[in-house]
Amino acid sequence: MHLRPILPLLLALAASGADAASWSLSDARTALSFNQSLLRDLGVQVRDIERGNLRFDPHMHALGYDARLVFGARNDKRLAADMQGHVLEHLLGPGLQHRGGFELAWRGGALSLQQFVLAPAFAPRSFELRTRDGEVAFTADFAHFEIDREAGTLQLFNLDLRIAPALAARLKQPQLAGVAIGTLELEARVQVPEAEAKLGTPPGCSDWSGNKDVALTSIGSVGQWERQGGMVAISPSATLRNVGSGNVPWYGKFTGPFPPYNNDQHPFLVWAIFRNANGVFEQIGTSDVKHAFLTINSGCDAGACTDSHILGLGCSDVYGEGTNNSTGSLSFRPEVSAGPGLWNHTGSHFDQNGDGVQDHTGSDPFPIHRATVQETDLQTAGAEYFLEAWYVVRDDVNIFNSMGWRRMTPSLPGSIWIFTLNTALANGSVLDAWVNPASPPAGSRNELLTLPEGHVRLAVKTTDLGGGQTRYEYALLNHDFDRQIGSFFVPTGGSSVGNLYFHDVDRNAGSDWIATQDANGITWSKPAASAGLDWGTLYNFGFTATTPPTNAAATLAAVEAGAPAQLSIQTLVPTDIGLVFADGFE
């Protein structure tokens, strides 16, 4: 058995920290939860060496119960937790060797993980899962943690369990390296030093002054978590940081009333998939709302609050792919008022009888709440694809640094989808990837309408088709306008218009908006029984006209009562000369 020595770099970091402390660990247990859907698609079977094969049960998987294995570890007095005040930086030591183990088997090969070792990797709170001979089969990252000083317990959970390059090579599918195949948890007893046991509430945690400003700092990876019926469910990892001057509440749902709002306020994560093809920028998949519940508070400013339910000044947090796909934390998007960032748990998806107590604790079957995309939509020749993520935070002073996007390439080289991220994170609206508002190409425009209640963005691209014909393509994105949008009017003057187009993301033809034309222009309106364009959602409109583009205003009608009832936003339209434009010229 070959175990790596104690990581010298991590020990040096621990020794150099003024507030560093090493807590001895014992009685550790590791739990592995494998995504059965991915195992099935890969043709890989997991067998607990002591208990036998894990069986794929579609019904249990639909309820969110993936194959879960738990193994006890042998005690090693050299293993310790590197604590920086209230924050777990890493585990130190040679790694945990486990009793029992499991085996992976596939057509033409197998790998034994009997007495496997879970060892610290170089990145904070990251690990390698190795065979007892030292081969790295999996990596694990994006850990959350909780420490109970009184009980002397430590929990690390929600780690993404990823296929390591060596295992991908054994499977003869090198493209699987880094693919998340499940989640990992670790729990252990900790020997808390007497001074640490008496450590009270972190400093600054009762101060709720200052602006709340949370920035998305990374979309680290994107992966498939379910595939059936011609659809694939996708989730990203996402990292954020408090860049404001005030603390941000981070209390899990139904945990009680807390300051500063006297409720269980927490941020919400949403994500979506977009396609740019044939001159049209469409939303082809969108998630429901992921409820945040805990923050690890890493890399904080000096003196910041590091309570795990308050995001302190300068502190960062991360949620992995598997955590974001967990339907036990996902609920319907309309429950959240995105403009102010409000959610009321009473009567929500999690409290279906409205008594203020959580009664829905299980998972929901595919595809409810997930960001699903039709597989055919991921196979458009020449298309560009984008993944957008956005943390919705109550009273956030800048929503546009809380959202961001990366271009990605989807591929299906084997039996599961691989999503390769091609560009660095760009903060701001994903529509900026289609039309840059700072320097729009000729014949295009990207305008943001800022209202006291939220933000709406309209981008347009026009194409000269020749023969006196111009194609107009509009992308209307409701960022956080909670009253929703129920109609979209484009003035056309005396221009002849045809080849009308509409697209939405819900794949329900019965909710498609209906176009009507008169001498003034085209109006697309939602069906009477359908909801309007809600926050975080993009709709497309298009037509061909006999008049080239010029500046004018389009008109949007709000669904819910309030002022103004109609919204005017600048864009490009086909109009006759002589129309007085909202820009103030003729």
For 355-397, how does the pLDDT look when each residue is reduced to its tens digit (9 = 90+)? 999 998 877 888 899 999 999 999 999 999 999 999 999 999 9
Cβ neighbours of 86 (radius 10 Å): 21
pLDDT score, position 55: 63
Give residue 357's identity as a one-letter amino acid code.
V
- On the CB side of 556, CA atoms within 13 Å amount to 30
Q: Say how many residues make up the chain.
A: 586
Give the domain-ending residue among 165, 197, 229.
197
pLDDT score, position 3: 34
Query: Are 135 and 221 in the same domain?
Result: no
pLDDT score, position 327: 85
Report pLDDT digits (tens) over 256-301.
Answer: 999 999 999 999 999 999 999 999 999 999 999 999 999 999 999 9
What value does the mean pLDDT take over residues 82-95?
86
Query: Are 408 and 480 in the same domain?
Result: no
pLDDT score, position 193: 81
pLDDT score, position 50: 85
Contact assessment for residue 459 and residue 498, using Cβ atoms and an 8 Å cutoff: no
Q: Is residue 585 part of a domain?
A: no
Q: What percent of the chain has pLDDT over 70?
A: 92
Three-state DSSP state, 511:
helix
Mean of pLDDT over the chain: 91
Q: Can you say whether the dihedral through the CA atoms of 209, 215, 220, 224 is positive or negative? A: positive
* 70 vs 365: CA distance, rounded Å: 25
pLDDT score, position 578: 46
pLDDT score, position 10: 36
Confidence bin at 575 (pLDDT 50/70/90): confident
Q: Is 60 exceeded by the pLDDT of residue 6?
A: no
Give the domain-ending residue among 430, 449, 473.
430
Confidence bin at 12 (pLDDT 50/70/90): very low
Contact assessment for residue 514 and residue 489, using Cβ atoms and an 8 Å cutoff: no
Q: Is 80 exceeded by the pLDDT of residue 26?
A: yes
* 131 vs 546: CA distance, rounded Å: 69
pLDDT score, position 8: 33
Query: Are 384 and 486 in the same domain?
Result: no
pLDDT score, position 282: 98
Q: Is residue 3 part of a domain?
A: no
Query: Are 171 and 280 in the same domain?
Result: no
Query: Are 390 and 485 in the same domain?
Result: no
Q: What percent of the chain has pLDDT over 90?
A: 79
Question: Residues 525, 528, 534, 539: what is their CA dihedral angle, to the nearest 10 degrees?
Answer: -30
Give residue 24's identity as a one-letter amino acid code.
S
- On the CB side of 33, CA atoms within 13 Å amount to 16
Cβ neighbours of 18 (radius 10 Å): 6
Helix (H) or strand (E) holding 59: helix 58-62
Confidence bin at 461 (pLDDT 50/70/90): very high
Report pLDDT digits (tens) over 153-164.
Answer: 999 999 999 999
Query: Are 100 and 175 in the same domain?
Result: yes
Residue 175 per-residue DSSP state: G
Report pLDDT digits (tens) over 230-240.
Answer: 999 999 999 99
Query: Are 221 and 177 in the same domain?
Result: no
Q: Is residue 581 part of a domain?
A: no
**What CATH number is associated with residue 444?**
2.60.40.1170
Report pLDDT digits (tens) over 400-437.
Answer: 999 999 999 999 999 999 999 999 999 999 999 999 99
Query: Are 400 and 471 in the same domain?
Result: no
Q: Which two tokens stand for residue 389?
A: 């993520």
Q: Is 60 exceeded by the pLDDT of residue 5?
A: no
Q: Is residue 582 part of a domain?
A: no
Q: Is residue 207 part of a domain?
A: no
DSSP string, 346-384: TTSTT-TTSSSS----S---TTTTSEEEEGGGG--TT-E
Three-state DSSP state, 86:
coil
Q: Is 90 exceeded by the pLDDT of residue 467?
A: yes
Confidence bin at 17 (pLDDT 50/70/90): very low
Nearest to 326 by CA among 269, 265, 274: 269
* 73 vs 71: CA distance, rounded Å: 7
pLDDT score, position 273: 98
Q: Which two tokens stand for residue 64?
A: 């969110």
Q: Distance of alpha carbon 116 from its chain centroid, rounded?
A: 31
Domain count, the chain: 3
* 310 vs 313: CA distance, rounded Å: 10
pLDDT score, position 199: 65
Query: Are 339 and 480 in the same domain?
Result: no
Query: Are 423 and 515 in the same domain?
Result: no
Report pLDDT digits (tens) over 529-544.
Answer: 899 999 999 999 999 9
Residue corresponding to tokens 């989640």:
183
- pTM of the prediction? 0.92
Q: Is residue 583 part of a domain?
A: no
Query: Are 267 and 170 in the same domain?
Result: no
Query: Are 61 and 156 in the same domain?
Result: yes
Q: Is residue 523 part of a domain?
A: yes
Cβ-proximal residues to 205 (8 Å cutoff; 6+ apart), any chain: 247, 305, 307, 310, 312
Q: Is 90 exceeded by the pLDDT of residue 485?
A: yes
Confidence bin at 59 (pLDDT 50/70/90): low
Lowest mean pLDDT among 315-319, 360-364, 555-559, 564-568: 360-364
Residue corresponding to tokens 């009308």:
500
Q: Is 60 exceeded by the pLDDT of residue 584?
A: no
Q: Which two tokens stand for residue 158?
A: 């929600």
Q: Is residue 409 part of a domain?
A: yes
* 83 vs 90: CA distance, rounded Å: 7
DSSP string, 432-486: GGTS-TTSPPTTEEEEEEEETTEEEEEEEEEEEEETTEEEEEEEEEESS-TT-EE
Residue 527 is part of which domain span?
A: 435-574
